[in-house]
Chains A and B, each alone.
Chain A
Amino acid sequence: MKVLVAVKRVVDYNVKVRVAADHSGVDLTNVKMAMNPFCEIAVEEAVRLKEKGVATEIVAVAVGPKEAQEQIRTALALGADRGILVEAADVQPLGVAKLLKAIVDEEKPELVILGKQAIDGDNNQTGQMLAALTGMGQGTFASEVNVADGSVKVTREIDGGLQTVDLKLPAVVTTDLRLNEPRYASLPNIMKAKKKPLDMKSPGDFGVDVTPLVKTVKVEPPAERQAGIKVADVAELVDKLKNEAKVI
């Protein structure tokens, strides 16, 4: 079974981001970039499927700048077999979904695993859009994935409990935090990753228009926390909660 995994290059989760001076977005100069943590979980799940003998080939795909090669190399070091990078900057979720659909048409994977969302835009859209565009079933927010007999059982984390869905393959699965704990890339595997194939593509190769449809108007940092005050007695506290904070 061939598995396609999408990976995204985002600001490293350890970085404290700063809003750019012109409020157009987040300041990315000299900021450490890394693979989106949910994508890491997606890669790990694919590698585990391969280790179980369920998957036979893992293709890692990224849509992003040329530097996103680093994230594909990381996926290759973790255990993916080959990579495809579609070089394009600032592609929005619909554009990414269209590009992934074109790659799905070409590669014909039986399972596509994506992170449920990227930690930069928090859009949570690409997986769902890809499923709709390709007509495949979708199992989102997966906390458990079991492939057997031409179908995949996905346990989903929903409000107040778990839901298990059974999808006919091919299908799209998006990962939640508790699906697995990704491994560290071992050093010999990092060396091997250098020798694995990585195809460079552009949106034009697939005839996909990735012009943005949504314009970001403004990005603002959260309001700074104000210093606290001391109140004299309970009466004053109740008064402030009622009239200033308006919580009771």
Chain B
Amino acid sequence: MSRDPIGLAMATMSRIASSSFVERMGLRTTIEKLTYQGTKSGFKALGVASRQFKSASQLLRPERLEAPAQPKTQFDLTISDEQQMMRDSVRAFATEVLRPAAAKSNDDEAMSADILAQANELGLSYFAVPENLGGAATERSPVTSMLIAEDLAYGDMGLAVAILSSIGVANALTQWGTATQQSKYLPAFLEENTLQAAIAINEKRPLFNANELTTVALEKSDGYLLNGEKTMVPLIDQAELFLVAASLNGKPRLFIVESGSQGVTIAKKPNMGVKAAAMGDLSLEQVSVSKDALLGGDEFDYQAFINMARLGWCALAVGTAQAVLDYVIPYCNERVAFGEPISHRQAVAFMIANIGIEMNAMRLMTQRAVALAERGKPFAREAYLARVICADKAMEIGTNGVQLLGGHGFTKEHPVELWYRDLRAIAVMDGGLHL
């Protein structure tokens, strides 16, 4: 198998990531950062050399996760002890590892290999893969996923997207994939050299609507032929697997496309924010895929898929908004102007109070929608409402975070300018607000 230089660089990096970094001993120690300049930006090449997917054990029926047991009370937002412990662990990781690496990852427009290795140590992907396939998931847990997304984004949204990109694909495979698809791909998410994957929904056109796709799949006798352009796809130069949204007979569906497929080209295209997620364009030109590439059967629910993706962005917005709040409070209490802390000024105090109120509203509306999804109940309306408030208030909180720091907010010495740029992503990703 011939490998292009980028593929070779990635493979080398992955090998290093799977050996020395994974040694439990030096978990929190800073490991010398790997640079892979060759993979940075602006190239147009074949995707990462594809791995050979081999089914560990062939499933007879697809694995599905059930809703957890019904809680005892009607309105209970307390999280379980396990969820709390997970939050503590993920929040510590986000604060101690992601936050200090945020600025550099933004400049590099990539997540470094040691951060990926440390994120893998947390075992996040185990929650997307059912027990029968080697994972740890015994029930559907969108609420836990949401808490994790929030806590990761508290450290850095760009890195959170980079870490969660593959997990989103694994979740979709667990929720809708056929037995063949699950057996083939899910175990690879748990390997030491974890499978990197990304979802490709967005397209380059004004008023993009996730339900009206210009990427088209044509049915052939032996499979499908895909044509189209996707944009803002995370991990563009590292993903080995893409979940591509394309229109099939006028209906939106998802197709599993390996990055090494003939006709797939990628180009890194950094945006204003969420830079560490290494987003870029994915172009599909006469890409031929097998019958097995169509995700799921008739029960596949594209709208639920889109809504979950959007709720993921809502959770990320809540985490970063919390970071803004926790940053501006001590700043405004310590920053003295006119002989007193600026928080004594009502214009400042009210602005901070509003961040707190709106962020909590964002969190509750997101939790409400996600909790319904976990129960397997309709959640489209709640997801839409959560998306509206998160898209709107995330931007406002980002702006106010910069504003509260005055001139400091504009500089790169404080992280609020990065959060401001990241928080603008929520309104853009996965289509505008069309019903």
A191 in contact (CB, < 8 A): yes
A184–B86 CB distance below 8 A: no
B82–A194 CB distance below 8 A: yes
Q: Which residue of A lies closest to B144 (CB)?
A: A187
CA distance A185 to B89 in the complex (A): 6
Most buried by B among A181, A184, A186, A188: A184
CA distance A230 to B26 in the complex (A): 49
A73-B85, A74-B85, A190-B89 known; A183-B123 Cβ under 8 A? no
Query: Which of A74, A182, A186 is B121 in contact with, Cβ under 8 Å?
Result: A186
CA distance A51 to B26 in the complex (A): 13
Nearest Cβ on chain B to A240's Cβ, whole angstroms: 23
CA distance A184 to B86 in the complex (A): 10
Chain A hits for B28, CB < 8 A = 181-184
Query: Which of B29, B84, B122, B148 is A184 in contact with, Cβ under 8 Å?
Result: B122
Q: Is the interface of B mostly helix, strand, loop or mixed?
A: helix
Most buried by A among B24, B26, B90, B124: B24
Chain A hits for B29, CB < 8 A = 181
Chain B hits for A184, CB < 8 A = 27-28, 89-90, 92-93, 121-122
| In the complex, per-residue mask of A48-89: 1 if CB is within 8 Å of any chain B CB, else 0 | 100100000000000000000010011001000000000000
Classify chain A's interface size.
20 to 34
B86–A183 CB distance below 8 A: no
Classify chain B's interface size.
20 to 34
Most buried by A among B26, B123, B127, B148: B123
Q: Which residue of A lies closest to B190 (CB)?
A: A188
Q: Which residue of A lies closest to B26 (CB)?
A: A181
B25–A187 CB distance below 8 A: no
A70–B81 CB distance below 8 A: yes
CA distance A185 to B85 in the complex (A): 8
CA distance A190 to B28 in the complex (A): 18
CA distance A106 to B220 in the complex (A): 72
Interface residues in A184-202 (C-beta closer than 8 Å to B):
184-191, 193-194
Chain B hits for A193, CB < 8 A = 85
CA distance A117 to B84 in the complex (A): 26
A34 in contact (CB, < 8 A): yes
Chain B hits for A77, CB < 8 A = 85, 89
A34-B88, A182-B28, A183-B27 known; A189-B123 Cβ under 8 A? yes
CA distance A48 to B24 in the complex (A): 9
CA distance A184 to B148 in the complex (A): 14
Q: Which residue of A lies closest to B84 (CB)?
A: A70
B136 in contact (CB, < 8 A): yes
Nearest Cβ on chain A to B58's Cβ, whole angstroms: 24
Nearest Cβ on chain A to B117's Cβ, whole angstroms: 13
Nearest Cβ on chain A to B253's Cβ, whole angstroms: 31
CA distance A181 to B93 in the complex (A): 13
B126 in contact (CB, < 8 A): yes
Chain A hits for B92, CB < 8 A = 184
Query: Which of B88, B121, B124, B136 is A191 in contact with, Cβ under 8 Å?
Result: B136
Nearest Cβ on chain A to B64's Cβ, whole angstroms: 19
| In the complex, per-residue mask of A96-117: 1 if CB is within 8 Å of any chain B CB, else 0 | 0000000000000000000000
Nearest Cβ on chain A to B25's Cβ, whole angstroms: 7
Query: Which of A48, A181, A182, A187 is B86 in contact with, Cβ under 8 Å?
Result: A187
CA distance A4 to B370 in the complex (A): 42
A187–B124 CB distance below 8 A: yes
CA distance A34 to B95 in the complex (A): 16
Chain A hits for B82, CB < 8 A = 190-191, 194
Chain B hits for A189, CB < 8 A = 123
Nearest Cβ on chain B to A241's Cβ, whole angstroms: 26
CA distance A69 to B24 in the complex (A): 26
Chain B hits for A188, CB < 8 A = 123, 126, 136
CA distance A189 to B24 in the complex (A): 14
CA distance A34 to B84 in the complex (A): 12
Q: Which residue of B lies closest to A47 (CB)?
A: B24
Nearest Cβ on chain A to B38's Cβ, whole angstroms: 31
A190–B121 CB distance below 8 A: no
Interface residues in B3-29 (C-beta closer than 8 Å to A):
24-29
Nearest Cβ on chain B to A167's Cβ, whole angstroms: 24
Chain B hits for A183, CB < 8 A = 24, 27-28, 121
| In the complex, per-residue mask of B18-48: 1 if CB is within 8 Å of any chain A CB, else 0 | 0000001111110000000000000000000
Chain B hits for A186, CB < 8 A = 89, 121-123
Nearest Cβ on chain B to A10's Cβ, whole angstroms: 14
What are 15 inter-chain pairs, A to B, with CB distance below 8 A?
A70-B85, A73-B81, A74-B85, A181-B27, A184-B27, A184-B90, A184-B92, A185-B88, A186-B122, A187-B123, A187-B127, A187-B136, A187-B148, A188-B126, A190-B85
* The 3 nearest A-B residue pairs measured at CB: A186-B123, A188-B136, A181-B28
Given A34-B88, A186-B122: 15 more A-B contacts, CB < 8 Å: A73-B81, A73-B85, A77-B85, A183-B28, A184-B90, A184-B92, A184-B121, A187-B122, A187-B126, A188-B136, A189-B123, A190-B86, A190-B89, A191-B136, A194-B82
